[in-house]
Chain A
Amino acid sequence: MNVQAWTFVLVALSFALYIAVAIWSRARTTREFYVAGAGVSPLANGMATAADWMSAASFISMAGLIAFRGYDGSVYLMGWTGGYVLLALLLAPYLRKFGAFTVPDFVGDRYESQTARLVAVVCAIFVSFTYVAGQMRGVGIVFSRFLEVPIELGVAIGMGIVFFYAVLGGMKGITYTQVAQYCVLIFAYLVPAIFLSLMMTGTVIPQIGFGGVESGSGQYLLDRLNGLHAELGFAPYTDGTKAVIDVFCITAALMVGTAGLPHVIIRFYTVPRVRDARLSAGYALLFIALLYTTAPAVAAFARTNLLATVSGRPYAELPEWFRTWEGTGLVRFEDHDGDGIVRMAGPAAALDAAGAPARNELTVDPDIMVLANPEIAALPNWVVGLVAAGGLAAALSTAAGLLLVISTAVSHDLLKRNLKRDITERGELIAARAAAGAAVIVAGYLGVRPPGFVAEVVAFAFGLAASSFFPVIILGIFSRRANRQGAILGMISGITFTAAYIVYFKFVNPAANTAEHWWLGISPEGIGAIGMLLNFAVAITVARFTPPPSPETQRLIDSIRVPRGAGPAHEIEA
């Protein structure tokens, strides 16, 4: 069978699996719709969380980004895993004990304030929408590349699938579909990685092959890579080029942002007990780490392969995959010196015969590294199809989790807890389904016609989550003195500061977006870390000069600090 037939079969099989799972696990009550009846085992929740978390960006783009940035790409690896330590130790067990349905639920009840709840709802919806648009886009790209359908049709098919199981199944359907999706995506990621590792280093385990000896040259792979970099005038792969303070702040913003993302936090409401919440955070990170420790190995293999097999070769002799991807416009060769040889050159490249610095002639989009890898390594056709199914699983699982946050924010936080408190269980369930359906359509539209800023904003969603939710939730648990006034002013000042900094450098004055103009040398990507500190400082200071929370809230704090007595997630009397 050829690549397209394999892709079609594997994608169709995986979709059939998701639909079967969704039918088997339909939601019948709001409790099932919002938190899967709080009956999910820690292991299953760990897998679902991992699939929920690992998006199209993790699956498709991350290894490519690292391949092009070397050490500087580490911010994504540490940032997107380290956040789980914060989540497991500082948030998950306490929020599970509190036992509500959503993040705004906690903020509103702990701070006894509808204003705080509304601020949280707006933040949750904003963060989730920017994110989900990116996922739908990823679905469209995979469809158009591998099955050669138009992007619009690809997005429509993806929407249909998500619509089916998110609207029908709610959290329950999503959870068990995500378990299936995790299995598909991790298998699809590991198989080519293992093949590559065997090919490049003769070692089965990519994490070991990464530090092993390259078969071709007899040198350590990383030494060979650094050598190739030096030859072509790139900075060493294993050294950083960014300022230490910026790397520090970006990592912090990503970590704290991860811990503050509502679609991740909400997953910890679905397990039966506090101790299960802790354990499932451990499983989640274990399953995530499987992909996240493989990605940098794949990055190094792919980079070495690219430099060794393409650079310096005559264009006419390049392998087949190069032409396939050239057709998509994601690989470009411009023969500046007209000699028909593909030359790659970094910023420190040697001078050519005429005394001018060599010009780089090859542009490779980082997004294709993972997708093209099986072809670069000449792996069997079914592996190529598998990667397509894996990319779709990653995108769909994340999209579904985000859509659920949007639908609960509308039906639960906005309607039930705010505008229409006398809504019946049945009415709320219908509202939740309608909201999920509407959200799918909006997300699909954004996926087909992404406003220019979506890609930019997705990267900053972390900074915004870090500077708004995280400090308020932490203080709500760990400080008895934290009160309504502090929380509201803290959230507003944190997110305003962060958003203003990002908007200034990205939209108002993009020309000044360079290290010498940044405040303290911190890039817009890392500014969320400072916004978070500001939020903490404001919330603590304001709380000192305003009355402490009521005795009822004090009792609530006492209760969330001990595990015993955690019932299933429940409705709290408003």
Chain B
Amino acid sequence: MTPPSPSSPEDRARAYWRANLRILAVLLAIWFAVSYGAGILFADALNRIRIPGTGFPLGFWFAQQGSIFVFVVLIFVYVVLMNRLDRRYDVDEEQRP
């Protein structure tokens, strides 16, 4: 992410929005990969692998446990990234004099 250049407000708004969309694209790609990918499309293939030390076939684990854990982490990562982005582009909601 490049820090905003001191250009026009419209350019800055556009750059903020593009950076926001980049974050969304990355996080949603992970969201898709753990649920639809590991939990559904490739579940059968992954079921040949066991999580070491447990009885979980990997695809089954992603479908019933892993994807949910990842979803929770994704939202909190999003919160942190967006708060940082808002401050960098000076569009956050902090009260400043």
Q: Which of A78, A289, A293 has the most chain B CB atoms closer than 10 A to its own CB? A: A78
Distance (whole angstroms) from the CB of B77 to the closest CB of chain A: 9
0/1 per residue, A207-227, Cβ < 8 Å to B?
A: 110111100000111110000
> Residue on B with the closest CB to A276?
B93
Determine if B75 is an interface residue (Cβ-Cβ < 8 Å): yes
Q: Please, how many angstroms separate the alpha-carbon atoms of A251 and B63 in the complex?
A: 11
Determine if A82 is an interface residue (Cβ-Cβ < 8 Å): yes
Distance (whole angstroms) from the CB of A117 to the closest CB of chain B: 27
Within 8 A of A (CB), among B5-57: 13, 16-17, 20, 24, 27-28, 31, 35-36, 39-41, 43-44, 47, 51, 54-57
Q: Is the CB of B36 within 8 A of A207?
A: no
> Residue on B with the closest CB to A79?
B35
Q: A78-B63, A211-B55 are in contact. Are A285 and B72 (CB under 8 A)?
A: yes
Q: Please, how many angstroms separate the alpha-carbon atoms of A84 and B28 in the complex?
A: 12
Distance (whole angstroms) from the CB of B9 to the closest CB of chain A: 10
Residues of A within 8 A of B47 (CB): 238-239
Contact of A275 among B40, B41, B54, B86 (CB under 8 A): B86
Distance (whole angstroms) from the CB of A285 to the closest CB of chain B: 5
Contact of B79 among A82, A210, A278, A289 (CB under 8 A): A278
Interface-lining segment among A26-34, A240-248, A366-374: A240-248
Q: A74-B63, A275-B93, A563-B93 are in contact. Are A251 and B36 (CB under 8 A)?
A: yes
Q: Is the CB of B78 within 8 A of A88?
A: yes
Q: Is the CB of A89 within 8 A of B57?
A: no
Residues of B within 8 A of A252 (CB): 36
Q: Is the CB of B35 within 8 A of A240?
A: no
Residues of A within 8 A of B16 (CB): 561-562
Q: Is the CB of A563 within 8 A of B86?
A: yes
Contact of A78 among B17, B51, B68, B72 (CB under 8 A): B68
Q: Please, how many angstroms separate the alpha-carbon atoms of A244 and B43 in the complex?
A: 10
> Residue on A with the closest CB to B41?
A244
Determine if A365 is an interface residue (Cβ-Cβ < 8 Å): no
Distance (whole angstroms) from the CB of A536 to the closest CB of chain B: 15
Determine if A558 is an interface residue (Cβ-Cβ < 8 Å): yes
0/1 per residue, A274-314, Cβ < 8 Å to B?
A: 11001101100110010011001000000000000000000
Q: Is the CB of B55 within 8 A of A77?
A: no
Determine if A19 is an interface residue (Cβ-Cβ < 8 Å): no
Q: Is the CB of A71 within 8 A of B43?
A: yes
Q: A77-B63, A211-B55 are in contact. Are A293 and B75 (CB under 8 A)?
A: no
Residues of B within 8 A of A223 (CB): 55
Q: A71-B60, A212-B55 are in contact. Are A275 and B83 (CB under 8 A)?
A: yes
Determine if A378 is an interface residue (Cβ-Cβ < 8 Å): no
Determine if A542 is an interface residue (Cβ-Cβ < 8 Å): no
Residues of A within 8 A of B13 (CB): 558, 561-562
Q: Please, how many angstroms separate the alpha-carbon atoms of A219 and B83 in the complex?
A: 47
Residues of B within 8 A of A211 (CB): 51, 54-56, 61
Distance (whole angstroms) from the CB of A256 to the closest CB of chain B: 12
Q: A71-B60, A90-B24 are in contact. Are A222 and B71 (CB under 8 A)?
A: no
Q: Is the CB of A207 within 8 A of B65?
A: yes
Determine if A484 is an interface residue (Cβ-Cβ < 8 Å): no
Q: A71-B60, A293-B65 are in contact. Are A84 and B55 (CB under 8 A)?
A: no
Distance (whole angstroms) from the CB of A186 to the closest CB of chain B: 15
Q: Is the CB of B56 within 8 A of A84?
A: no
Distance (whole angstroms) from the CB of B27 to the closest CB of chain A: 6
- A selection of 30 A-B contacts at a CB cut-off of 8 Å is A71-B43, A71-B60, A71-B63, A73-B64, A74-B39, A77-B63, A77-B67, A81-B68, A82-B31, A82-B71, A85-B28, A85-B71, A85-B75, A207-B65, A211-B54, A211-B55, A212-B55, A219-B55, A221-B55, A222-B55, A222-B57, A239-B44, A251-B35, A252-B36, A274-B93, A275-B82, A282-B79, A286-B72, A293-B64, A296-B64
Nearest 7 interchain pairs by C-beta: A220-B55, A211-B54, A74-B63, A282-B75, A296-B64, A222-B55, A238-B60
